[in-house]
């Protein structure tokens, strides 16, 4: 049976590190919000059937985005954490053999080539886009001084999208949250459940807009994509 691919976009964060007057996904780059750029990638991809966007409970910005009336898109309420937001979105999936493609609202520079590489994965461990660590990594002590230098040879920086069978991911997130585990991405919930997700090497320009200086970078990369 062929699988149904459903994109989940957690967009219920406040983006406090951005120091802006609104959550970062609603900041404008090249005349469109970051969320609109991100959604366009998913809307245009022929293998993605639906897109579920988790937004904050009293989000005053979302209703202004006309793209959200697109027939592929459904809104759900976000949760306290990213993991809870993704779980709420997973609850809205009833299709047989559904796979969830979870992608940060704040990663608008994803390329179709990277997305297609990930969509080739079809085993129960699932997979994520990631990049090998190239900087030297230091571990600090509680004062912020260097305690030690890590061996970076097997270290990867996780990105999104992250791609899993929807039923397995739902189970893993549900269990992880019940056990009060710290879950900062979907793969970590799957790891806790005993899976070994594949690392698919992605591009360095798939940045997560997090700090003010990232906006100019996102604009530059998006200009080159057009
Ligand atoms: O804060 P961070 O950049 O790690 O957030 C990653 C993604 O998770 C963002 O797209 C953010 O909007 C989303 N998020 C969410 N619900 C939360 C917290 C974050 O959907 N409670």
pLDDT of amino acid 123: 95
Encoded tokens for 184: 């900062």
pLDDT of amino acid 186: 98
> CA 132 to CA 159: how far, in whole Å?
11
Among 155, 104, 108, smallest CA distance to 132 is for: 155
Whether 135 is in the pocket of ligand 1, judged by its Cβ within 6 Å, is no
Question: 């793969």: which residue's tokens?
Answer: 187
Whether 93 is in the pocket of ligand 1, judged by its Cβ within 6 Å, is no
Whether 161 is in the pocket of ligand 1, judged by its Cβ within 6 Å, is no
pLDDT of amino acid 55: 97
Whether 17 is in the pocket of ligand 1, judged by its Cβ within 6 Å, is no
Tens-digit pLDDT string for the chain (226 aa): 799 999 999 999 887 788 888 999 999 999 999 999 999 999 999 999 999 999 999 999 999 998 999 999 999 999 999 999 999 999 999 999 999 999 999 999 999 999 999 999 999 999 999 999 999 999 999 999 999 999 999 999 999 999 999 999 999 999 999 999 999 999 999 999 999 999 999 999 999 999 999 999 999 999 987 5
| Coil vs helix vs strand at 184 | coil
pLDDT of amino acid 140: 98
What number does CATH give the domain 4-224? 3.90.550.10
Whether 73 is in the pocket of ligand 1, judged by its Cβ within 6 Å, is no
Are 176 and 191 in contact by the 8 Å Cβ rule? The answer is no
What spacing in Å lies between the alpha carbon of 196 and ligand 1's midpoint?
23
Q: Which atom of ligand 1 is nearest to the CA of 107?
A: 10
Whether 176 is in the pocket of ligand 1, judged by its Cβ within 6 Å, is no
The domain segmentation of the chain, as residue ranges, is 4-224
Beta bridge partners of 165: 99
**Substitution candidate for ligand 1 out of 7, 8, 9, 12 with most atoms within 8 A of CB:** 12
> 149 — alpha (psi -120 to 50), left (phi > 0) or beta?
beta
Are 114 and 129 in contact by the 8 Å Cβ rule? The answer is yes
Which residue's alpha carbon is at the smallest distance from atom 5 of ligand 1?
A: 13
pLDDT of amino acid 225: 74
pLDDT of amino acid 226: 55
Burial of 19 from C-beta contacts in 10 A (0-12 / 13-18 / 19+): exposed
pLDDT of amino acid 107: 98
| Main-chain dihedrals φ then ψ at residue 96, nearest 5 degrees | -70, 145
Length of the chain: 226
């Amino acid at each position: 049976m062929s699988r149904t691919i459903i994109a989940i976009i957690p967009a219920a964060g406040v983006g406090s590190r951005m120091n802006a007057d609104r959550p970062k996904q609603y900041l404008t780059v090249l005349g469109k919000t970051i969320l609109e750029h991100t959604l366009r990638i998913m809307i245009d991809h022929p293998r993605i059937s639906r897109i579920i966007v988790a937004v904050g409970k009293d989000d005053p910005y979302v209703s202004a985005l006309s793209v959200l009336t697109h027939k592929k898109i459904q809104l759900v309420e976000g949760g306290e954490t990213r993991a809870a937001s993704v779980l709420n979105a997973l609850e809205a999936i009833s299709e047989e053999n559904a796979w969830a493609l979870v992608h940060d609202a704040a990663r608008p520079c994803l390329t179709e080539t990277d997305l297609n590489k990930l969509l080739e994965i079809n085993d129960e461990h699932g997979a994520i886009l990631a990049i090998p660590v190239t900087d030297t990594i230091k571990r600090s002590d509680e004062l912020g001084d260097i305690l030690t230098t890590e061996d970076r040879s097997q270290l990867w920086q996780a990105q999104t999208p992250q791609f899993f069978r929807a039923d397995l991911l739902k189970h893993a997130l549900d269990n992880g949250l019940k056990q009060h585990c710290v879950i900062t991405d979907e793969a970590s919930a799957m790891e806790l459940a005993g899976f070994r997700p594949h690392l698919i090497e992605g591009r360095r320009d798939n940045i997560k807009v997090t700090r003010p200086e990232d906006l100019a970078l996102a604009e530059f990369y998006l200009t080159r994509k057009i």
